């Protein structure tokens, strides 16, 4: 069955022991997947501690500060899951209890999401008895029937294929290229003379680089954000680094700003 195969590929891709981790692959997208975890594991009035938006948080993360001990740790690796899958950056699975991810960003799969949760033995209680994680049923039930109806089997099938591809040497080479290309972006130093992410977004669009404005730490307004995020993953396959660098430079120059390259 496509769903079972997809779950198997998901655990294999992220090198997870099936005795310690499970995964739900039915979630329709990233925001619903986070809400499904909250629905499953939070009681009314319990709190979520999350990153602020400009610091890398997402609207679906919630904004309250948590001062409780023994909180559940959720890592939303939506942007970086492809890099994690390829093993080119550290994995959050070592630390997190729950890991959510969209499947259509760096993972390069169909639009959807996955919810990974810890399974098996959590620890021992004062009586020396084993305590087990109880996430699986709660999360599966929050997804269906809690917040969704039947699974989108066409998406799940496509995801099974994408995950299989994510285990190939070609995929690893591609993700290494993504990292390398990103370092070219990071080389671009924009000296602030009225420029902002919205303007650069427009100019980049004109040279066929899809990007969107994004807040970064220190910004005072989401309407005038200091960052951009590059979206079209095929750029990393299509363009050689030098060409990409040339285009960004051109785009920034045409935003009428000083651009220096390191
Ligand atoms: C970190 C993160 N989580 C969740 C989402 C939401 O994903 P979706 O648009 O699939 O609901 C996004 C979307 O940009 C995101 O960046």
Residue 245 confidence class, pLDDT cut points 50, 70, 90: low
Determine the distance separating the centroid of ligand 1 and the alpha carbon of 220, expressed in angstroms: 22
* pLDDT tens-digit series, residues 205-225: 887 777 888 888 888 888 888
Determine the distance separating the centroid of ligand 1 and the alpha carbon of 34, expressed in angstroms: 9
Query: Of 26, 167, 196, which Cα lies nearest the Cα of 108?
Result: 167
How many angstroms separate the CA atoms of 14 and 93, rounded? 8
Residue in the structure block whose two tokens are 């009586």:
127
How many angstroms separate the CA atoms of 185 and 229, rounded? 10
Q: According to the model, what pLDDT value does residue 258 have?
A: 47
Atom 7 in ligand 1: residue holding the nearest Cα: 30
How many angstroms separate the CA atoms of 28 and 41, rounded? 19
% of the chain with per-residue pLDDT over 90: 56
Segment 144-167 shows an average pLDDT of: 97
Residue 251 confidence class, pLDDT cut points 50, 70, 90: low
How many angstroms separate the CA atoms of 156 and 1, rounded? 10
pTM of this structure: 0.83
Atom 5 in ligand 1: residue holding the nearest Cα: 30
How many angstroms separate the CA atoms of 71 and 48, rounded? 9
Query: Of 119, 93, 101, which Cα lies nearest the Cα of 22?
Result: 119
pLDDT higher for 69 or 50?
Answer: 50
Determine the distance separating the centroid of ligand 1 and the alpha carbon of 30, expressed in angstroms: 5
Segment 56-82 shows an average pLDDT of: 77
**45's tokens:** 């009035």
Segment 111-136 shows an average pLDDT of: 96
Ligand 1 atom closest to 77 (CA): 1
| Alpha carbon distances (Å) from 18 to 5, 14, 105 | 13, 11, 25
Highest-pLDDT range among 52-61, 186-195, 242-251: 52-61
Atom 6 in ligand 1: residue holding the nearest Cα: 30
Ordered structural domains, the chain, with CATH: 2-165 (3.40.640.10), 169-258 (3.90.1150.10)
Determine the distance separating the centroid of ligand 1 and the alpha carbon of 59, expressed in angstroms: 8
- Residue 248: is its pLDDT beyond 70? no
How many angstroms separate the CA atoms of 167 and 169, rounded? 7
- Residue 238: is its pLDDT beyond 70? no
Ligand 1 atom closest to 111 (CA): 10
């Amino acid at each position: 069955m496509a769903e079972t195969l997809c779950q198997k590929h998901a655990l294999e891709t992220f090198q997870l022991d099936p005795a310690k981790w499970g995964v739900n692959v039915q979630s329709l997208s990233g925001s619903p997947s986070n809400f499904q975890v909250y629905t499953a594991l939070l009681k009314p009035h319990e709190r979520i501690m999350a990153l602020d938006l400009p610091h890398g948080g997402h609207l679906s993360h919630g904004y309250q500060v948590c001062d409780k001990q023994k909180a559940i740790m959720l890592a939303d690796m939506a942007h970086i899951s492809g890099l994690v899958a390829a093993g080119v950056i550290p994995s959050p699975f070592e630390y997190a209890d729950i890991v959510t991810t969209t499947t259509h960003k760096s993972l390069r799969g169909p639009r959807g999401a996955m919810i990974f949760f810890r399974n098996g033995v959590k620890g021992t209680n004062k009586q020396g008895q084993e305590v087990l994680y109880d996430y699986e049923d709660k999360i599966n039930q929050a997804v269906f029937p809690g917040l969704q109806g039947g699974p989108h089997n066409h998406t799940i099938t496509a995801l099974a294929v994408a995950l299989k591809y994510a285990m190939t040497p070609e995929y690893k080479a591609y993700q290494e290229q993504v990292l390398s290309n990103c370092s070219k972006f990071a080389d671009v130093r924009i000296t602030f003379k009225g420029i902002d992410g919205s303007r650069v977004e427009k100019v980049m669009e004109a040279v066929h680089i899809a990007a969107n404005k994004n807040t970064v730490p220190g910004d005072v307004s989401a309407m005038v954000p200091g960052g951009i995020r590059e979206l079209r993953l095929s750029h990393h396959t299509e363009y050689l680094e030098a060409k990409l660098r040339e285009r960004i430079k051109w785009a920034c120059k045409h935003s009428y700003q000083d651009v220096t390259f390191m």
